Amino acid sequence: MTEMFILIPGRTSDQGCGISEGKFQEKYQKQITSLQVAPGDMERLALAEGDWVRLTTEFGQQVEVAVTAAKKDELPEGLLFIAYGDISSRLMGGDTHGSGMPTSKGIDVELEVLRSETA
Amino acid sequence: MASVGSVEPGARSELTVVEDAVCTFCGCVCDDIDLTVENNHITQAQRACVLGKAWFLNHAIDDRPSCLIDGQPAGLEDGYQRAAEILTGGKYPIVYGLSDSPCEAQRVAVSIVDWIDGTIDTTTSVCHGPSGMAFQGVGEVTCTLGEVANRGDFIMFWGSNPAESHPRHFTKYSLMPKGMFVPNGRKDRTCVIVDVRKTKSAKAADIFLQIKPRKDFEALWTLRALAKGIELDARQVESETGIELSVWQDLMDRMKAAKFGVIFFGMGLTMTRGKHANSEALLALTRDLNAYTRFTAKPNRGHGNVTGADNVVAWRTGYPFGVNHNRGYPRFNPGEYTTSDTLARGEADCGMMIACDPMANFSQPAREHLASIPYIALDSKETPTTRAATVAFTVATYGINAPGTVYRMDDVPIPLRPAFKSPHPSDFEVLSNIETRVKAIRGVRS
Amino acid sequence: MTKDLIKISQGTLYDPANGVDGEVRDLWIQGGRIIAAPSDPATKPARTIEAEGLVVMPGGIDMHCHIAGPKVNVARKMRPEEKRKAEVISRTDVTHSGTLGSVPSTFATGYKYAGMGYTTAFDAAIPPLGARHAHEEFDDTPCLDKGFYVLMGNNHYVMQSIQQNEPKKLKAFIAWLLTAAKGFAPKLVNPGGVEVWKHRQAGNVSGLDTEVDHFGVTPRQIVSQVAQSAQELGLPHPVHIHCNNLGMPGNWETTLETMRALEGRRGHLTHIQFHSYGGGEGDENTFNSKVVPLADYVNSHPNVTIDVGQVLFGETTSMTGDGPLGYFLSNIYGGKWFSSDTEMEAGCGITPIKYKNKSLVHALQWAIGLEWYLLVDDPWRVVMSTDHPNGGSFLAYPQIIRFLMDRTYRQDVLKTCHPLVGRRSTLADLHREYTLNEIAIITRAGPARILGLTNKGHLGPGADADITIYTPHENKEIMFELPRLVIKSGEVIVEQGEVRDSRIGKTLHVAPAYDVDAEADIQEWFEKYYSIRWRNYPVDPSYMHQPELIGSPNHGN
């Protein structure tokens, strides 16, 4: 089962603190590897906290990542959020369309639920 | 080199307090932090926010070697020499980063690039580079943060989440201060936040507008049209932006009624499809509004001295970022000489990464190419970039161990007040030593 | 042979400050300064520069240009388009690369000034909050001694002190501010008008007697009281004034009133060309020159000095501390516009402009500038400037010299201009031609005297050995654009346009004495309103490259 979403990577407070505490520390790593999903989308896709999904971009970049429910109404349905880091970078294309800036927010991704297939 | 506030290390077990120290974690560059220092460790950072506390309290001296060559501990002299050989050995050397270095070090980095006919680029190209390009198109009406505090009665944030990225923004500069012409502080200001999600900042807003993702350009042009009194199709506006026309009209009425409006904008605009066209729409809207009242705009810059990097690169080369010297003089072309591109296209054949982490933050093709070429990394912490570097220098942390000058996001230069000395060299020292060797190799007598 | 002793042999010297007008003499240099000829005729210099048949003058001094600091750098960032098509500045084994266009990069600025025989330059408008930035750029601007003027005509503490009738506070504040910024002179830019710009849409004052919002003071009070304080402080260059109403038709009356507001005190009116217009109501048809009555006033009032702000035809960038002016110009030209308001202190406006000889207004501006040089009788009180880059680049100075020394050339260019210029100005009737001695006055000896720089602008013993040697040429533009040799602090830095030595040069600053007890009041005000901390505001001396204190040292602090 797959569905299209728009991914918004961004800064979070914990991710910012993690930069100072060390990028190889657990806090930072946890922040940048948790995909936030709107509670409504979680329910509709029957996703539980910690379940895994696969994200694929139109250019073929692909990651697998664990999900967590976004807080209250922070995220509208159809949007995904992840803190800047290795995962979000993997989903950016190399092309900057002549701007120097890769499209790093508002990325179209195909979401595939993996659930119990991955530990 | 300015030596303002360099502090001798206190005797062991002695407790020192550094007043009005400067936090360089984000572009707010708060210069009112009181640091308590015990045994070369900061134990308190008064007035610092959560990001600032993490910054100050976690920068004890890293016990890594000051220099690693191919992952093995090495002497600094050997590191400098190897670095100079790498930089002078390539055909397309790139130097990148700089946004967490003081201006004094940035200046040396630009010198090195000049001597090696290289390309200099800063992290601006992947944060507000598009805003810099927009600025070259339409200009910018702006002000210092003190003007916002003293005059701003209508404060808008667009695609920016200061509650998580610039935690003291609201209290120190934009919403809470009781200013000269806004004596009641928050009560005298209207706060509007526009974003595609309801961020933690949204709580601070009087009006929160959640627009459709990737529709910033359309939303901003809706406001430009309304500012000029152009009639719009209500259905089209709502379907494009996700917000009713009447809401936009109400917003425009409030903007025109403000005495001194300010729009802070973030990477929600610059990193999203449209990029510089988004920033340009916002800067043009701000300009338009000056036909009715006073309005200003300002990008919320991320890193502590990314604004200094823009300034230093501009005053030395004439261009703000993405500057190529392959012909012996500076040329500017974003998309061509910017680091994401020179790496992802496989053009750069050696490099130096200063206080930045492209191995974590760049696209996969860019990272793969960087990993395949010899490069030097300077950072006070271990990062994916330092781990993959040919020569990695562990440097003293600017503002905590090393002195210098940083520019706040509004271009106000502020001197650093380091708290204690590091056994590691500063990036100024490392770069100066590399420059000496580069000059010797290249026959420069300046 | 005496070590580090240099002799410039048998040059034709123009040293108006010492009454030397084209006399063949030897010049001796040691330790970076000019010295008296050794009494022992057997003394042999380590180096002799043969200057027979060449013209020797002190190094040029630009007393009003925009070359460093926040707004200059914004203009660099804003205008990539003009650099890509400009002459390139390639790096060499002794020099950095750079870019030109109307706002050159720091290194290019230094090399190009020196290449033209200039060795000293003053940036005319630095907001004190950006002073540290200006010093950092100075440290990357080679071949020149440099200083800057500190914006204070819209400073809240200045206006508040005047409003509260506290002249002692005002005087102490000016001294404190100059010292904190490590600046050279007080600068007034559209006094009061920039504050009004911050309060209202298109806000500005309309003349000397408009009250400033919130502060209730007038531009006239600001001019006269800052001039008074500066006089009492004994500043080498008391007050440098950019009048209200720059560029507006009919503004000549504002300019006249500003000179009157000095009430006999010393004052320098800058880029006066932009302030000498008749007409009104914004009607182009009434735009005309009012240099004659203004020059009459200057001629009869020795307390007033001016620089011109000559306009040249072509593209350039307007940059000013005059925020409302930037808005006005951007609306006229319709191009990109930068504006920035600096808390408590100042404003700023930047926009690209193009002066066209077929435009009546532009051609009149060009003619009005030249009228000023030709109608002020005393060359010691008129200084060459383009208000770089506002009227044009400093690189136009050799062309201006040709306009002044060659009336045929001047009239030929006038003929290419809009036909009404002849009727709306007196330029067609002016036959005066400058002599080399007069050129030496308006480009070096005069500005040195006006700035109170006793070691510059002359070739007498004790002077800084900043010397330019020119090859005479009938075409004075050719003569002045490519000096044979340029010597800075006793070292040859440029030979025939090639930079040999890219030393950075000195920072010239003042530190007048003031009552330190006054600081408590300043600090209380500062901490209430500024967004940075009091102790992080003053510029540490380490930011200055080879600082040289001009005037009496600061005893108060």
The answer to whether C388 and C372 are in contact (CB under 8 A) is: no
Model pLDDT, residue C557: 34
- Phi first, then psi: what are they for C539, rounded to 5°? -80, 125
With a CB cutoff of 8 Å and minimum separation 6, the contacts of A8 are A79, A80, A81, A82, A105, A106, B196, B197, B213
Instruction: Judge whether A24 is closer than 8 Å to chain B, CB to CB.
Output: yes
Q: Cβ–Cβ of B129/A101 closer than 8 Å? A: yes
Model pLDDT, residue B9: 47
Q: Could you state, in order of their start, the residue ranges of all structural domains in chain B? A: 67-127+304-408+422-442, 129-299
With a CB cutoff of 8 Å and minimum separation 6, the contacts of C489 are C32, C464, C465, C466, C503, C505, C506
- Phi first, then psi: what are they for C177, rounded to 5°? -65, -45
Q: Cβ–Cβ of B198/A11 closer than 8 Å? A: no
Instruction: Judge whether A97 is closer than 8 Å to chain B, CB to CB.
Output: yes
CA max distance for chain B = 72
Q: CA C255 to CA C260: how far, in whole Å?
A: 9
CATH class of A2-117: mainly beta
CA atoms B354, B360, B364, B368: torsion sign: positive
The amino acid present at B155, given as its one-letter code, is: I
What is the per-residue pLDDT across C58-84, written as a single tens digit (0 to 9) for each? 999 999 999 999 999 999 999 999 998
Interface of B with A in 121-160 (CB under 8 A): 121, 125-126, 129-130, 133
Model pLDDT, residue B61: 77
Residue A116's pLDDT band, with cuts at 50, 70 and 90, is low
Q: CA B388 to CA B366: how far, in whole Å?
A: 13
Model pLDDT, residue B381: 93
Residues in chain B predicted with pLDDT less than 50, given as ranges, are 1-7, 9-11
**CA neighbor of B220 nearest in space, from B170, B274, B256, B166:** B274
3-state secondary structure B285-333: HHHHHCCCCEEEEEECCCECCHHHHHHHHHHHHCCCCCEECCCCCCEEC
The larger pLDDT score, comparing residue C484 to residue B12, is at: C484
Most A CBs within 10 A among B164, B280, B323, hence the mutation to make, goes to: B164
DSSP three-state, residue C362:
helix
Q: Flag whether pLDDT at C278 surpasses 90.
A: yes
- Relative to beta strand B207-210, strand B190-195 is parallel
Model pLDDT, residue A58: 87
- Fold classified for B67-127+304-408+422-442: Rossmann fold (3.40.50)
Q: CA B43 to CA B405: how far, in whole Å?
A: 24
Instruction: Judge whether A45 is closer than 8 Å to chain B, CB to CB.
Output: no
Q: Could you state, in order of their start, the residue ranges of all structural domains in chain C? A: 2-53
**DSSP structural state of residue C517:** G
What is the per-residue pLDDT across C209-253, written as a single tens digit (0 to 9) for each? 999 999 999 999 999 999 999 999 999 999 999 999 999 999 999
**CA neighbor of C395 nearest in space, from C312, C487, C485:** C312
Q: List CB contacts (< 8 A) between C199 and chain B.
A: 259, 294
**With respect to CATH, is domain B129-299 assigned 3.40.228.10?**
yes
Q: How far is CA C272 from CA B5, C156, C323, C413, C423, in A?
A: 43, 26, 18, 22, 21
With a CB cutoff of 8 Å and minimum separation 6, the contacts of B197 are A8, A74, A75, A76, A79, A81, B210
Residue C3's pLDDT band, with cuts at 50, 70 and 90, is confident
Instruction: Judge whether B321 is closer than 8 Å to chain A, CB to CB.
Output: yes
Model pLDDT, residue C394: 98
**CA neighbor of C179 nearest in space, from C524, C516, C538:** C538
DSSP three-state, residue C270:
coil
What is the per-residue pLDDT across C187-199, written as a single tens digit (0 to 9) for each? 999 999 999 999 9
Model pLDDT, residue C1: 66
Question: How many Å lie between the alpha carbon of B291 and the closest alpha carbon of chain C?
Answer: 7
**DSSP structural state of residue C544:** S
**CA neighbor of C526 nearest in space, from B407, B180, B417:** B180
Q: Which of B50, B198, B361 sits opposite A13 (nearest CB)?
A: B50
Peptide bond preceding C389 in cis form (omega within 30 of 0): yes
Q: CA C127 to CA C187: how far, in whole Å?
A: 10
**CA neighbor of B166 nearest in space, from B265, B99, B100:** B265
What is the per-residue pLDDT across C485-517, written as a single tens digit (0 to 9) for each? 999 999 999 999 999 999 999 999 999 999 999
Model pLDDT, residue A59: 83
What is the per-residue pLDDT across C339-361, written as a single tens digit (0 to 9) for each? 999 999 999 999 999 999 999 99
Q: CA A97 to CA A118: how far, in whole Å?
A: 36
The answer to whether chain A touches chain B by having 3 or more C-beta pairs less than 8 angstroms apart is yes
**CA neighbor of C427 nearest in space, from C359, C367, C363:** C367
Q: Cβ–Cβ of B318/C531 closer than 8 Å? A: no
Question: How many Å lie between the alpha carbon of B38 and the closest alpha carbon of chain A?
Answer: 19
With a CB cutoff of 8 Å and minimum separation 6, the contacts of C517 are none
The answer to whether chain A touches chain C by having 3 or more C-beta pairs less than 8 angstroms apart is no
- Among chain C residues, the shortest Cα distance to B21 is held by C536
The answer to whether C43 and C88 are in contact (CB under 8 A) is: no
